[in-house]
Structure 1
């Protein structure tokens, strides 16, 4: 009897282990053999909710009623990965699920199409996209049949996953609520017709992030709003040479995911500005937000949907912002107005530091040489690597970066710094002398109101 009871307990434990292994289904890593010979398309859907944040449940494509934890009264977010040349698992997948569920009570469905995405031949993978999209379209239709609203669906597609999202949206006549495209793939899609790629008609709202437009990403606008951090190329902190290995090829492309996750996590808020070019943005020519009404310029990322109505009405809108090399990615913007009294025109670059209780924020204005002319206000745009609540001191360094000529001096009649968000807080200093490549530190005062 004892032996029988013992065996029964072991069988029950084994059954529970098997059941747990089945319930907690995980994205499977493939190998170089799969990458070399290619794989047939398979689409697995793993459901995560606030009741099972770390334990994905494998969903049936046809029998949704078999999954009582799949509550269709909630909104549903799909995460669709991109090209996986070696069959590896995206390192950001688990954190994406956790951060999304921390923000919103939603169904998070991880779309695993690694079988189909794994192949050293990129062209073969591109051929698989429509099949994956057809599978997801059928699943969305089953959801609708069971009472879900297509407008409550949010698809987050990375690289090729962005175009898959677009195909699903097109199949459903643009009725899904939102598509967030993270650096949509450029190769094989650049220059193609809208029906062959993601476009703004594929969902009620399409927001796009471009971080690698000169290599793996898509250059032109694709959505209702298109963000171009750091101009869409050469993301800060990414390797500059091929000697850094594979990171050189994928860092800019992958940065789109980490920037978006930062917005989900609300590490900090990044305000973006409409502009025709990154150069004009850096010059401070595109800081007006009047077209967006009282809400001001949109914030980048997860919360941009709050601007949906105004953005859809405006059509395609290109937005720019800069970031830090790592999280927290947000910078803090100031306008800097400089008036000099040198007789001759002076040209050069500025580095400005803000200080408070040992904390230092730095902004380097060096994208081009700034021009300073006697009694003429020169407007610069400074983007500091962090925010300073109360500025005690300011340091300024002027540099011509000219090693061959004699040192220049910039005779500043007034320098004024104005926080972009807190425009009433303007800090000034009058009558200072800036010697070439020499830092000068001073305490700012409240600006006096008079014109030059």
Structure 2
């Protein structure tokens, strides 16, 4: 039946109550806004365990206006970077959810999309300073209302990483922690510390690099700088411009995916302090005695547990390799091989570990390895996944020059030792004359254990 006007009116107050609890959302813009340019406006969106999926915009001046903002709890700021298309970051909801799963805290998303959305990158760089000034004033207000600087963690992505550094410098490095996720390189490479992020900007600064040859920063910026796959080209990312936009952004965005993996503990990625990526691949940096009993640093959110060891070292570079897709973590082994060829053999090794239908592979081909008679050659092998039991090993030996005559690589002994569990060797002192015939396309040999 039709409702009369008298019957409709009493429904209106209930509707008004509902609209008063609407969620505040990240500013959505598009390419049109980026082309015409946007003026800076900084919006702070609060998320807590009580409003996990419903952001609430905070007043910059009246902190008590939002009762869910509890200054006695830790506060994590998430600061995005350059947004050339104006679209919200696709990782935003994920990082909010994962942070709040880790701890009872305030998560503040710094929405400066009005400003970051601009095809003129140089203009956006100038806005980064203004954004930092805005955040500095807000944090001072937090201080005045009882918040501790030590309880603040700022996570800055790309250009946002330098914004966190500018804020930290204003507080003389007293902010608890800054995490820089592939900090931006253009307009910051070669700049002095006061014009970029540096280790003095917080009590602890951790950094990950994934695109240092393009959009990312090359040199160390923190107390520890992680260089994933050397810090440049990432596995699985397009290698040519024919792949479209992914060619430009895949390496840069991989840093976010790796950090999210550390947050949700999809991977426990051990990194190895080293002077260069080549030395790391050569297995020259596997000793982490200075970090006993914790061992080699774990990349990502939990690196804070190594703070007391890393800060006195001032700046540490650490390296690790990853898979092409999640789970990104690899498993490291020492491979010790003794051969009995009369002449020295040069080549590359691919090893497969088998456990029934499960197989994992490691290819050691960053440079040719030499195998001398009765001399042990030690190699670092990084497998795609960790097999709890190994029933068979397959080895493929590839010559350096495929056009030279065929020859055999005679293996007297091979031993694989898990670097995470050094008490567990896959093959411990197993002696057998194993011939690896080097053909034009290499030889393949399997051996049951």
Asked whether the two chains share a fold, i.e. TM above 0.5, the reply is yes
- For 1:349 and 1:260, the matched residues in 2 are separated by 32
| 2:183 corresponding residue in structure 1 | 184
Is 2:233 the counterpart of 1:240?
A: no
Deviation (angstroms), 1:92: 0.4
| Secondary structure in structure 2 of the residue aligned to 1:426 | coil
Deviation (angstroms), 1:401: 5.0
Deviation (angstroms), 1:405: 1.8
Deviation (angstroms), 1:88: 1.1
Spell out the pairing of 1:135-214 with structure 2 (5 A cutoff). 135-214=134-213
- For 1:255 and 1:232, the matched residues in 2 are separated by 11
Q: Deviations over 1:83-129 (max 9, x none)?
A: 00111111000111011111111111110000110111110000111
Is 2:20 the counterpart of 1:19?
A: yes
| 1:448 corresponding residue in structure 2 | none
Deviation (angstroms), 1:132: 0.2
| Secondary structure in structure 1 of the residue aligned to 2:335 | strand
Spell out the pairing of 1:221-300 with structure 2 (5 A cutoff). 221-300=220-299
- For 2:160 and 2:178, the matched residues in 1 are separated by 11
- For 2:212 and 2:403, the matched residues in 1 are separated by 37
| Secondary structure in structure 2 of the residue aligned to 1:411 | strand
| Secondary structure in structure 2 of the residue aligned to 1:374 | coil
| 2:448 corresponding residue in structure 1 | 443
Which residues of structure 2 form unaligned runs of 5+?
Answer: none
Q: What is the TM-score normalised by the length of structure 2?
A: 0.96
Deviation (angstroms), 1:2: 5.9
| Secondary structure in structure 2 of the residue aligned to 1:164 | helix
Question: Which segments of structure 1 move beyond 4 Å, counting only runs of 4 or more?
Answer: none
- For 2:132 and 2:89, the matched residues in 1 are separated by 20
Deviation (angstroms), 1:440: 1.0
Q: Deviations over 1:234-281 (max 9, x none)?
A: 100110000111110011001110000000000120000011110110
Q: What is the TM-score normalised by the length of structure 1?
A: 0.96
Deviation (angstroms), 1:13: 4.1
- For 2:297 and 2:236, the matched residues in 1 are separated by 25
**Do the aligned partners of 2:354 and 2:392 also contact (CA within 8 Å) in 1?**
yes
Q: Deviations over 1:320-359 (max 9, x none)?
A: 0000011111000001011100000001111111111311
- For 2:353 and 2:378, the matched residues in 1 are separated by 18
**Do the aligned partners of 2:368 and 2:400 also contact (CA within 8 Å) in 1?**
no
Aligned positions, number: 441
Deviation (angstroms), 1:17: 4.1
Q: Deviations over 1:303-335 (max 9, x none)?
A: 000000110011100000000011111000001
Is 2:1 the counterpart of 1:3?
A: no
- For 1:407 and 1:16, the matched residues in 2 are separated by 82
Is 2:404 the counterpart of 1:418?
A: no
Deviation (angstroms), 1:3: 3.2
- For 2:354 and 2:24, the matched residues in 1 are separated by 51
Spell out the pairing of 1:9-408 with structure 2 (5 A cutoff). 9=11, 11-21=12-22, 24-408=23-407
| Secondary structure in structure 1 of the residue aligned to 2:21 | helix
Deviation (angstroms), 1:136: 0.5
- For 2:164 and 2:275, the matched residues in 1 are separated by 27
**Do the aligned partners of 2:349 and 2:396 also contact (CA within 8 Å) in 1?**
yes
- For 2:391 and 2:143, the matched residues in 1 are separated by 58
- For 2:84 and 2:90, the matched residues in 1 are separated by 14
| Secondary structure in structure 2 of the residue aligned to 1:127 | helix
- For 1:144 and 1:8, the matched residues in 2 are separated by 46
Deviation (angstroms), 1:39: 1.0
- For 1:2 and 1:69, the matched residues in 2 are separated by 41
